[in-house]
């Protein structure tokens, strides 16, 4: 039976599309599946694949040093990147684990393409920033003001979190205690003194409640001011010719890029993802960088919604799909996460409102601004708490 189990395990390791190798305490490779051999052989540049300690000379500290310094079974390091320029440009991700006192395991991923996409997005963002830097002084001033107000709005949004008012919670608990012990307080302090303490505490809490309402009202006004300033910034950019919105993009390719950039996060959280598209191309006129940022934010929102589920979901998943209808493309990002009350759908786009435990309320609002700048729409749907949620992006197809 044990021989059968071992054979099945070896068969599985040799068939999975992941590079895995097992090695002994001296670094000698005991098991190397075909995926690992295919990935490492060109990088070894003629060196035999017999000892893992000699395979990655560019890694500091070395695998040998870190493996020997980590005596307990378990992960040693995870998702560490190593870049190769020769014999071919390649980037790999290494995850090292100690199995027991005598054996270790190394999992290797080829992340060359996702790293290329990440650098491409960074370069595009830098080019866009440089173009904005050449804009008129008035636009630059508005941009600086917008950044400052965004920071202020982020901080003011924290005031809406219940956990940021511990004094009120503590005060109300103390008042309930005084009310339940009023007789004992009278006996200890004198007749009527217990009631006086309760009345004083009540007045203090009423004053604090009033101050809280005033502060929250001020914070709400600040958030509305921030939204107004952001609208002005958007109009200003559009009046400058919309240089960044002059490219034909394939929405399917942008979604695949966003998924590639989030691949490690999806894998780490064990989230299954599928992308359904009937066509090869979904052309839209767009700022590719901004639209990719929107798509990444939608994926992250779904991942966070899945992480909030209590108890945890056995099979967390995110399903994306593209559909063309009446000259527009509809992108849906559906998860089976925590969901929300359907009546909250529009409120989640307001700054300071979110279904997250620690909300800033700015992410979805900014996503909608990006969609609207592309003559599109963005909205959310959910059947209710615990029923998952769906983000729906609607954009016009490019005529070219």
Full DSSP string of 346-371? TGGGSTT--SSSS--S-HHHHHHHHH
pLDDT at 331: 96
pLDDT at 224: 65
Phi, psi of 243 (to 5 degrees): -55, -35
pLDDT at 183: 87
- Return d(Cα 51, Cα 54) in angstroms, integer: 6
pLDDT at 168: 77
Q: What is the pLDDT of residues 117-145, one digit of tens each?
A: 888 888 888 887 776 666 555 555 655 66
pLDDT at 357: 46
Contacts of 346 (CB under 8 A, 6+ apart): 379
Instruction: Identify the CATH assignment for 245-396 out of 3.30.565.10, 3.20.20.70, 1.20.1090.10, 3.40.50.2000.
Output: 3.30.565.10
User: DSSP state, 240?
Assistant: T
Give the DSSP letter string of 372-388.
HHTT-EEEEE-SSTTS-
Does the pTM of the predicted model rise above 0.85?
A: no
Helix residue ranges, H only, 240-362: 251-261, 263-268, 288-307
pLDDT at 358: 42
Contact predicate 394/336, CB 8 Å: no
Give the DSSP letter string of 17-52.
SSEEEEEETTSBEEEE-HHHHHHHHHHHTT--TTBG
pLDDT at 262: 86
pLDDT at 333: 96
Q: Please list the residues that pair with 389 across neighbouring strands.
A: 335
The hierarchical CATH code for the domain 2-110 is: 3.30.450.20
Contact predicate 283/250, CB 8 Å: yes
- Return d(Cα 206, Cα 198) in angstroms, integer: 12
Q: Residues of the chain whose pLDDT is less than 50?
A: 1-2, 162-163, 241-245, 357-362
pLDDT at 154: 58
**CA distances for 42 relative to 45, 48, 88, 116, 245, angstroms:** 6, 11, 8, 19, 41
Q: What is the pLDDT of residues 16-48, one digit of tens each?
A: 788 899 999 999 999 888 888 888 888 887 788
pLDDT at 134: 63
Helix (H) / strand (E) containing 224: helix 193-239
CA angle 367, 377, 134 (to 5 degrees): 50
What's the gap between Cα 240 and its chain centre? 32
- Return d(Cα 259, Cα 331) in angstroms, integer: 14
pLDDT at 383: 92
- Return d(Cα 168, Cα 160) in angstroms, integer: 14
Contact predicate 25/110, CB 8 Å: no
- Return d(Cα 372, Cα 231) in angstroms, integer: 11
Contact predicate 368/378, CB 8 Å: yes
pLDDT at 362: 46
Enter the tokens of residue 110. Answer: 């080829």
């Amino acid at each position: 039976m044990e021989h059968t189990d071992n054979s099945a395990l070896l068969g599985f390791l040799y068939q999975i599309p992941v590079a895995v190798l097992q090695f002994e305490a001296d670094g000698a490779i005991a098991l190397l599946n075909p995926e690992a051999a295919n990935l490492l052989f060109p990088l070894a540049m003629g060196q035999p694949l017999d000892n893992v300690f000699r395979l990655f000379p560019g890694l500091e500290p070395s695998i040998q040093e870190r493996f020997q310094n980590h005596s307990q079974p378990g992960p040693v390091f995870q998702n560490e990147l190593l870049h190769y320029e020769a014999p071919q440009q390649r980037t790999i991700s290494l995850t090292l684990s100690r199995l027991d006192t005598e054996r270790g395991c190394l999992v290797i991923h080829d992340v060359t393409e996702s790293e290329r996409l990440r650098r491409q997005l960074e370069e595009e963002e830098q080019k866009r920033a440089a173009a904005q830097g050449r804009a008129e002084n008035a636009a630059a001033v508005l941009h600086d003001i917008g950044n400052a107000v965004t920071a202020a709005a982020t901080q003011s949004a924290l005031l809406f979190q219940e956990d940021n008012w511990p004094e009120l919670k503590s005060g109300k608990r103390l008042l309930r205690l005084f009310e339940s012990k009023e007789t004992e307080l009278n006996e200890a302090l004198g007749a009527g003194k217990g009631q006086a303490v309760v009345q004083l505490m009540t007045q203090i809490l009423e004053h604090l409640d009033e101050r809280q309402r005033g502060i929250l009202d001020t914070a709400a006004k600040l958030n509305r001011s921030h939204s107004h300033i952001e609208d002005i910034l958007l109009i200003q950019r559009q009046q400058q010719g919309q240089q960044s919105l002059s490219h034909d993009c394939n929405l399917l390719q942008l979604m695949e890029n966003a998924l590639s950039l989030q691949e490690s996060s999806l894998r780490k959280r064990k989230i299954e993802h599928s992308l359904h598209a009937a066509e090869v191309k979904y052309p839209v006129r767009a700022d590719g960088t901004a639209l990719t940022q929107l798509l990444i934010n939608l994926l992250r929102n779904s991942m966070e919604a899945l992480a909030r589920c209590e108890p945890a979901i056995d099979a967390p998943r995110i399903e994306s799909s593209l559909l063309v209808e009446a000259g527009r493309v509809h992108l849906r990002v559906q998860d089976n996460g925590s969901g929300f009350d359907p009546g909250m759908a529009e409120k989640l786009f307001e700054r300071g409102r979110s279904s997250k435990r620690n909300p800033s309320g700015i992410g979805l609002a900014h996503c909608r601004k990006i969609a609207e700048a592309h003559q599109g729409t963005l909205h959310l749907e959910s059947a209710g708490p615990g029923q998952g949620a769906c983000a729906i992006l609607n954009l016009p197809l490019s005529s070219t």
